[in-house]
């Protein structure tokens, strides 16, 4: 009978069914009666004009059947469905309809066991009956409808049942509105919405109230304000009960889910602090139940059972998870209209949630990586939706709190908390959301103007020790900080934000908190991370004023380790553009003649010499060497006059040791650079230096054209050239 959608039953088949059911001499198996009733139901619902005589005959047979046969669960559900369909037929006489409704109510008021999979049939029958009955039966059926789940032997509460109630009530009340049956609407409001009844399951009442709101939204009638008001009041009363009880039973979880779905599907509803708290609780415990998932995974560790895997996967397919976007939208609207105290309470819940997700998800991923990738993927699909929720909520917070009438201290505190929360969830960001960028711009702009807020944000970054040690207890797990993708994403977020507020970071804070992490991640294999590290260094070097001696001293000290970390990873890990920007910044912003600049120049020449030697020995692509030579040539116009002679001398020593092609390349670049220079201070010295360097290089080419010297002779000849260069520098 699962093919009932495509099955058609005509009058001849109905006559045959009636004859079977009414034949006293036939002994039919009890399992056949539900089948016959379902055939009659298909006929009633699919026939455009069923024969009135057959309808009445069918009703008589069904009434006799229930008076003569024991009522099984299956027969009960099929009977409720069929009796409801009979009452919904316009052609059914008043007498027969009343007989059907009497039996209908009698069956519902008896003791019975109702399995979950049979609930849809029972609710459908109730919907038919409620739409066609009078006031007396309407009251009795409503009482049975909302009392099913608290009845002994009744079905278990579930979100799917709640949604059935919502749409059933919407359909019934809308039919009442269309037929001007305002007495039944008033009865529903009085019996279900205005009076409290312990026999009614709260989740069903919430969904019934939501159905009433949806029905009123579909009508332009002005006489529905009382219904709407009663529905909103009932939802608020139940929300207050949820907030005051503060328990975590399974039924309350379903109630939270139904409350959030009811609000999401009821259009623009009223605002209430209790509704906001219910939505926050639903989002953090039911829609994104990470605490439950992570605790189960971490308890069983590597031997995570398939039950847990299925639970995560089932949640992905659940109704409540698929409605996360709509619920988040309602959540943000409720937040905008809540009291200040409740707003602050909910904000703290969300920010704590972000940090909990970061800590727990990182542990779980480190433990499951390589062992259960499917589970990680399912978890991260859920966390992605959680990230969206946090982004939209944070944007709503900025619109409420980053405004002129809010005290500056509160604005700064909110901005720092949003930045920290975003850093925790940065790993889950998969696309460039405009809402995300708007929020970042708002809060970062607020923080960068205040030193206390800036320091608070910077000091929230995980310490060097925390970054380089594992927090997961597992069997002989090898941990490498650079392979921790979630941690890396968080640090990358900090490295992108810190440059915007580098001016406000005191030197001691930068030395203690930022510098160790900056240099650690300068050696990260991900180029985005290393580039961000170099950008952070550049931002600090170019920040502050020269009068701050402590800051200047720290800058000079950082240069030594910066050059070591940069050059030891070049070529390979260190991106040339990042290192070049760092070098350009330090020669531009450090004091003239600083020993750090001399060290920088010496380090670059030494590294270039090493790379150029490899170029001569190995006939491979000299790109890394060329880039360093280009950087050194650019420094000729950047370094101060005190450093320039040393740079020219070291660069000349490097050039004369290059192969002929290398010398020509460098000299051509030098000619172009010096000729284009308009620096009247250093240009005369550069012109003389280039001419002398060109002369020595040409002499070397002429001498080498006659006979290529042996290895020992080449060394002697290069030594002679260097002595000549030293004499030239003495004259310069």
DSSP string, 427-471: GG--S--HHHHHHHHHHHHHHTT-HHHHHHHHTTSPPHHHHTS--
Spatial distance between the Cα atoms of 208 and 621, rounded to a whole number of angstroms: 75
631: nearest Cα among 675, 667, 580, 669: 580
Tokens 């109230």 identify what position? 209
* Contacts for 600-603: CB closer than 8 Å, 24+ residues apart: 600/559, 600/563, 601/632, 601/635, 601/639, 601/643, 601/646, 601/647, 601/650, 602/650, 603/563, 603/564, 603/567
Which of 96, 158, 104, 164 has the alpha carbon at shortest distance from 130?
104
Burial class (CB in 10 A: 0-12, 13-18, 19+), 658: buried
Q: What is the pLDDT of residue 731?
A: 44
pLDDT of residue 673: 84
Q: What is the dihedral of CA 114, 119, 123, 126, to 10 degrees?
A: -20
Give the phi and the psi of residue 686 in degrees, each rounded to 5: -65, -40
Residue 136 is encoded by which pair of tokens? 């007396």
Q: How many residues make up the chain in this entry?
A: 732
> How many other CB atoms are found less than 10 A from the CB of residue 226?
15
**R_g (Cα) of the chain, nearest Å:** 40
Low-confidence ranges of the chain (pLDDT < 50): 1-3, 247-248, 472-477, 617-618, 706-717, 720-721, 727-732
The answer to whether 524 touches 569, Cβ cutoff 8 Å, is: no
Instruction: Quote the CA–CA distance of 104 and 83 in Å, as a whole number.
Output: 6
- C-alpha to C-alpha distance for 205 and 122, rounded to whole angstroms: 17
Positive or negative, the Cα torsion across 319, 323, 328, 333? negative
DSSP structural state of residue 636: T
Distance CA 467, CA 477 (A): 16
Q: In this structure, what token pair is assigned to residue 323? A: 């409605």
CA 693 to the chain's CA centroid: 60
Q: What is the pLDDT of residue 476?
A: 46
Residue with tokens 């012109």: 687
Concatenated DSSP letters of 467-504: HTS-----TT----GGG-HHHHHHHHHHHHHGGGGGGG
Q: Give me the pLDDT at residue 68, please.
A: 86
Number of C-alpha atoms within 13 angstroms, CB side, residue 429? 19
Question: Could you tell me which residues come within 8 angstroms of residue 583 by beta carbon, excluding any fewer than 6 positions away?
Answer: 600, 604, 631, 635
Tell me the C-alpha distance between 604 and 601, whole Å. 5
Helix and strand counts by DSSP (H, E) for the chain: 35, 0
Specify the pLDDT at position 616: 56
Question: Residue 45: which of 14, 74, 22 has the closest Cα?
Answer: 14
Token couple for 220? 């332009």
**What are the angstrom distances between the C-alpha of 56 and each of 61, 69, 99?**
9, 20, 11
Write the pLDDT tens digit of every residue in 677-721.
787 788 888 888 888 888 777 765 555 554 444 444 444 445 544
Q: Where are the alpha helices (DSSP H) in 547-622?
A: 549-568, 576-589, 595-617
- Cα distances from 28 to residues 23, 69, 312, in angstroms, run 10, 11, 47
pTM: 0.87
**Phi, psi dihedrals of residue 115, rounded to the nearest 5°:** -80, 155
CB 555 within 8 A of CB 590: yes
Phi/psi of residue 145, nearest 5 degrees = -60, -50
Q: In Å, what is the CA distance from 247 to each residue of 250, 378, 674?
A: 9, 28, 78
Of 120, 38, 124, 144, the C-alpha closest to 84 is 124
Summarize the chain as % helix, strand, coil (round to 5): 75, 0, 25
563 vs 31, 94, 154, 198, 527, CA distance in Å?
Answer: 86, 96, 74, 74, 17
Whether the ω angle into residue 571 lies within 30 degrees of 0, i.e. cis, is yes
Task: Give the integer Cα–Cα distance in Å for 516 and 513.
Answer: 7
The answer to whether the beta carbons of residues 499 and 536 sit under 8 Å apart is yes
* Alpha-carbon distances, residue 529 vs 116, 366, 574, 582, 620 (angstroms): 53, 20, 10, 15, 29
Residue 699 confidence (pLDDT)? 67
CA distance 631 to 596: 17
Question: Are the C-beta atoms of residues 502 and 539 closer than 8 Å to each other?
Answer: yes
pLDDT at 473: 46
Tokens of 406: 């809010």
Output DSSP code: residue 302. Answer: G
Cα 469 to Cα 298: distance, rounded to the nearest angstrom: 18
Instruction: Give me the helix-helix angle, 549-568 and 576-589, nearest 10°.
Output: 150
3-state secondary structure of 638: coil
Of residues 79, 89, 7, 108, the one with CA closest to residue 44: 89
Tokens standing for 227?
């219904």
CA 26 to chain CA centroid, Å, is: 65
Domain segments of the chain as ranges: 624-732
Q: Which tokens in the block code for residue 51?
A: 């024969």
Q: CA angle at residue 314 from 348 to 380, to 5 degrees?
A: 50
Count CA atoms within 13 Å of residue 374 on its CB side.
9
Nearest-angstrom CA–CA distance, 294 and 308: 10
Which residue is listed with tokens 């005589």? 53
Measure the CA–CA gap between 448 and 458, rounded to whole angstroms.
11
């Amino acid at each position: 009978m699962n093919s009932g959608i495509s099955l058609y039953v005509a009058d001849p088949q109905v006559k045959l069914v009636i004859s079977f059911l009414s034949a006293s001499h036939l002994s039919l198996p009890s399992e056949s009666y539900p089948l016959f009733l379902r055939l009659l139901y298909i006929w009633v619902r699919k026939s455009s004009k069923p024969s009135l005589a057959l309808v009445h005959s069918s009703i008589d047979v069904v009434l006799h059947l229930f008076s003569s046969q024991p009522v099984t669960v299956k027969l009960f559900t099929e009977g409720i469905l069929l009796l409801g369909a009979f009452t919904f037929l316009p052609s059914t006489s008043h007498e027969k309809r009343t007989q059907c409704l009497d039996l209908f109510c009698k069956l519902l008021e008896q003791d019975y066991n109702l399995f979950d999979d049979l609930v849809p049939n029972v609710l459908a029958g109730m919907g038919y009956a409620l739409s066609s009955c009078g006031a007396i039966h309407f009251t009795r059926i409503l009482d049975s409808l909302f009392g099913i789940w608290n009845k002994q032997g009744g079905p278990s509460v579930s979100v799917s049942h709640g949604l059935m109630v919502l749409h059933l009530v919407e359909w019934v009340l809308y039919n009442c509105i269309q037929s001007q049956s305002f007495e039944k609407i008033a009865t529903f409001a009085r019996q279900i919405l205005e009076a409290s009844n312990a026999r009614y399951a709260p989740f069903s009442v919430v969904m019934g109230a939501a159905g009433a709101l949806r029905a009123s939204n579909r009508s332009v009638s002005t006489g529905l304000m009382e219904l709407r008001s009663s529905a909103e009041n009932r939802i608020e009363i139940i929300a207050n009960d949820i907030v005051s009880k503060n328990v975590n039973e399974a039924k309350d979880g379903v109630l939270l889910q139904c409350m959030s779905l009811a609000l999401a599907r009821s259009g623009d509803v009223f605002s209430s602090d209790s509704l906001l708290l219910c939505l926050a609780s639903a989002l953090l415990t039911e829609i994104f139940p990470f605490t439950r998932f992570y605790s189960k995974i971490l308890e069983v560790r590597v031997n995570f059972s398939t039950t847990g895997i299925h639970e995560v996967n089932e949640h992905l397919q659940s109704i409540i998870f698929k409605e996360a976007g709509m619920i988040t939208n309602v959540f943000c609207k409720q937040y905008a209209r809540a009291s200040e105290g409740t707003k602050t309470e909910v904000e703290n819940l969300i920010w704590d949630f972000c940090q909990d997700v970061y800590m727990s998800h990182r542990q779980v991923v480190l433990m499951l990586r390589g062992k259960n990738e499917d589970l990680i993927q399912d978890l991260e699909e859920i966390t992605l939706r959680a990230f969206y929720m946090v982004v939209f909520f944070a944007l709503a917070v900025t619109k409420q709190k980053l405004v002129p009438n809010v005290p500056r201290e509160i604005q700064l505190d909110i901005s720092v908390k949003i930045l920290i929360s975003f850093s925790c969830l940065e790993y889950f960001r998969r696309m460039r959301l405009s809402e995300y960028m708007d929020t970042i711009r708002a809060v970062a702009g607020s923080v960068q103007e205040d030193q206390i807020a800036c320091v608070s944000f910077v000091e929230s970054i995980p310490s060097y020790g925390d970054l380089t040690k594992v927090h997961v207890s597992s069997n002989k797990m090898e941990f490498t900080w650079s392979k921790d993708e979630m941690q890396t994403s968080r640090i990358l977020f900090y490295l992108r934000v810190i440059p915007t507020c580098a001016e406000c970071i005191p030197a001691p804070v930068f030395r203690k908190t930022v510098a160790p992490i900056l240099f650690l991640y300068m050696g990260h294999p991900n180029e985005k991370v290393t580039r961000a590290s170099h950008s952070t260094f550049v931002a600090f070097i170019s920040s502050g004023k020269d009068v701050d001696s402590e800051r200047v001293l720290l800058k000079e000290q950082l240069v030594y380790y910066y050059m070591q970390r940069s050059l030891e990873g070049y070529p390979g890990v260190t991106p040339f553009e990042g290192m070049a920007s760092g070098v350009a910044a330090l020669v531009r912003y450090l004091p003239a003649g600083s020993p750090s600049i001399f060290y920088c120049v010496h380090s670059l020449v030494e590294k270039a010499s090493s790379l150029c030697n490899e170029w001569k020995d190995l006939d491979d692509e000299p790109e890394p060497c060329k880039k360093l030579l280009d950087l050194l040539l650019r420094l000729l116009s950047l370094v101060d006059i005190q450093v320039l002679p040393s740079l020219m001398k070291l660069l000349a020593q490097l050039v004369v040791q290059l192969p002929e092609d290398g010398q020509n390349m460098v000299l051509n670049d030098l000619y172009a650079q010096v000729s284009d220079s308009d620096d009247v201070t250093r240009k005369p010295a550069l012109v003389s230096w280039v001419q002398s360097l060109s002369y020595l290089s040409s002499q070397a080419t002429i001498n080498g054209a006659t006979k290529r010297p042996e290895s020992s002779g080449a060394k002697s000849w290069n030594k002679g050239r260097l002595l000549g260069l030293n004499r030239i520098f003495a004259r310069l």
